[in-house]
Chain A
Amino acid sequence: MKSEILYPGAFPMVRVELTAGEHIKAESGAMVACSPTIDIESKMEGGFLGALSRKFLTGEKFFFQTLRASRGPGEALLAPTVPGEIVILELDGVNEYMVQKDGFLAGADGIVIESKMQSLSRGLLGGEGFFILKISGKGTLVLNSFGAIHKIELKPDQEYIVDNSHLVAWSSTTSYNIEKATSGWIASVTSGEGFVCRFRGPGLVYIQSRNPGSFGAWIRQFIPVSE
């Protein structure tokens, strides 16, 4: 799987080149265009129960697409639903990433996707819900975000504070605690930050430059109310 980001910025696409017989998985509905040599199958990754838990627990789609180059080599164009940047990661079999529920776009066949339950405090206050995706395995992983993606590199024991709804993905060697944004409860709410995540390295944290929830709230005021 060779991949390349086209039109980087707000409305990017990923071009994925597949050799004959190779297949990748992608978020359901991600395929924009592809060579005639490629077959699209829908597949319940992790079996029926796994798919069911992913659907109900993480809000991710029940089916993943499988794009298979069954009739010779070809390419496919993939795009996410929301405007925002795409990032390509290479997993080496040791690295593991936690990905917030809408972050997955596509992955090589060697990528393993599981739903994982967070601790209660992280689930309630972390902004990602109780269930996140744990992505491990070997191969290329394509993530999407809302807005631009920014990578934070943390050295061992280095700390960084991230507003909870801006998280896209983080490596499992990092750990984080949920904290109030300011020392007082009222100031935490009025500062507009509420709760933040204090990350501790080593590892990588990918954040998105826009907060989908806030954007939704902002846009709601312009939607005419139907009678």
Chain B
Amino acid sequence: MMSNALCFGRDYPASGAPCFVQVDEAGLTIVFESTGGDGDREVAPFAALSVSAGGLDHDHLVVKWTGAQGERTLYFKDPDAIRAFRQAAPGHLSLPFAQAAELVRQVRQRRRLVWGLALGMFLSTVLGLWFGSDLLVEIAVSRIPVEWEQKLGESAYRDFLAQQEVIKEGPAVAALGEMTQRLTEQIPNNPYKFEVTVVKSDVINAFALPGGHVVVFTGLMKKADSGEEVAGVMSHELNHVLRRHGLERIVKSLGLLTVVTIVLGDQQGLVGMMKQLSVELLTLKFGREQETEADVTGLQLLQRAKIDPSGMIKFFERLSEKDEGRMEWLSTHPMSTARAERLKAELAALPKKSPELFTFDWKQVQASLGSQPVVAP
């Protein structure tokens, strides 16, 4: 006979005596294991019993009574035995039974509730950080003065130039100067002093650093069919600076701890860290959201500067359909037809303005840069 309960009493070991509980009309019959099938048995009438829930998780049924051998406590959790007991038990036990069951339910519910709350708090913290981080980053960035941004961009700019050949004068520099002037004239309350540098490289690329340094590679200028196309890229890059996208990326990569520090003040200690990160600016890849923002605001700026905005769209489209081998500009600026479509829709929504042409001749500018770039297979 398999034991299904433990019986505790003065004459039993503290770990309890294993026993088998049988339920009949009169009460419980407890048969002890150690003495074999028909040896030591005890009978407990229903009238003498009291029931409750007990054990580590309140999942045991505890039956107590006082018999001839003194106080007895029976612990069992075998579902069959409990069911049989409950069915046979007379009226006066049904209330304590219900109370014991209620207690078990309450304990389980409370435990589920506590775990649920703990999990909920954890999840909401994670979600809060995930979705709230954009707001925090915005707050942090808005508290960093423009001078800092310029210093940061300056050091990154110098690091970059150390390895590059710069074109200091000529038609290309003059043409970019004219574009920059026409664009910046249309920026109200511009805190930045934009400086455009032309770097001799066949890579089709252009980038902007925080604080106002814009670098255009000659490869990009050779690739463009008109001044308006380059102006489109310029407008896009200027808006990265104006929207402080580079700074946003740095702050994001610096992590939340820093964000909190900045929000709370104490900007001084961060200068060293930010300088290190400024090197990484050169390989900075802007997020898609930032790209879209720079596209749209860039388009609006072109419109205000009376530069034909279709040049920007044309240049993007051309980049997306042709060879991708050496188009670094493309890899950092993920191109898709959706992006061009979006720009077209934006353009359609803007009021039509008659564009004013640039004073330079683009073909001559390109000729001053040398031969056409080698197109990768």
Residues of A at the B interface (CB closer than 8 Å) are: 92-95, 98, 119-121, 153-156, 170-176, 201-204
Contacts and interface: CB of A to CB of B under 8 A. Distances in A.
A90 to B, nearest CB: 9
A141 to B, nearest CB: 12
A174 B13 CA distance: 14
B222 interface: no
Contacts of A170: 56
A121 B5 CA distance: 29
B354 interface: no
Contacts of B29: none
B85 to A, nearest CB: 16
Contacts of A120: 111, 114-115, 118
B15 A156 contact: no
22 contacts: A92-B18, A92-B33, A93-B2, A94-B4, A94-B5, A119-B114, A120-B114, A120-B115, A120-B118, A155-B8, A155-B14, A156-B8, A156-B64, A170-B56, A171-B16, A173-B8, A174-B55, A202-B8, A202-B16, A202-B73, A203-B15, A204-B14
Contact of A153 (B14, B33, B58): B14
A154 B56 CA distance: 14
A207 to B, nearest CB: 14
B2 to A, nearest CB: 7
Given A93-B2, A95-B6, A120-B114, A176 B71 contact: no
A66 B5 CA distance: 30
A120 B10 CA distance: 35
B18 A94 contact: yes
Contacts of A156: 8, 64, 71, 73
B18 A175 contact: no
Contacts of A175: 54-58
B111 A119 contact: yes
Contacts of B56: 98, 170, 172-176
Contact of B60 (A121, A153, A154, A172): A172
A95 B14 contact: no
A171 B118 contact: no
Given A94-B4, A120-B115, A202-B75, A171 B60 contact: no
Contacts of A202: 6, 8, 14, 16, 73, 75
Contacts of B111: 119-120
B364 to A, nearest CB: 65
B112 to A, nearest CB: 10
A226 B143 CA distance: 42
Nearest to A176: B56
A120 B54 CA distance: 19
Contacts, number: 71
Among A153, A156, A172, A175, chain B packs the most CB atoms within 10 A around the CB of: A156
Among A92, A94, A155, A204, chain B packs the most CB atoms within 10 A around the CB of: A94
B3 interface: yes
Nearest to B13: A153
Given A120-B114, A155-B8, A172 B18 contact: no
B6 A173 contact: yes
A197 to B, nearest CB: 11
Contacts of B3: 92-94
Contacts of A155: 8, 10, 14
Nearest to B114: A120
A155 B71 CA distance: 11
Given A92-B33, A95-B6, A156-B71, A173 B16 contact: yes
A153 B15 CA distance: 7
Interface in B55-102: 55-58, 60, 64, 71, 73, 75
A99 to B, nearest CB: 12
A187 B3 CA distance: 47
Contacts of A176: 56
A133 to B, nearest CB: 13
A74 B114 CA distance: 50
B12 to A, nearest CB: 9
B107 to A, nearest CB: 9
Contacts of B6: 94-95, 173, 202
A86 B352 CA distance: 89
Among B2, B14, B60, B118, chain A packs the most CB atoms within 10 A around the CB of: B14
Contacts of B71: 156
Contacts of A93: 2-3, 18
Nearest to A152: B14
Contacts of A154: 14
A167 B97 CA distance: 33
Interface in B1-42: 2-6, 8, 10, 13-16, 18, 33
Contacts of B55: 172-175
B253 to A, nearest CB: 30
Nearest to A205: B14
A135 to B, nearest CB: 13
Given A120-B115, A153-B13, A173-B60, 6 more contacts: A93-B3, A94-B18, A120-B114, A153-B15, A156-B73, A173-B6
Nearest to A154: B14
Nearest to A174: B56
Contacts of B57: 172, 175
A105 B323 CA distance: 66
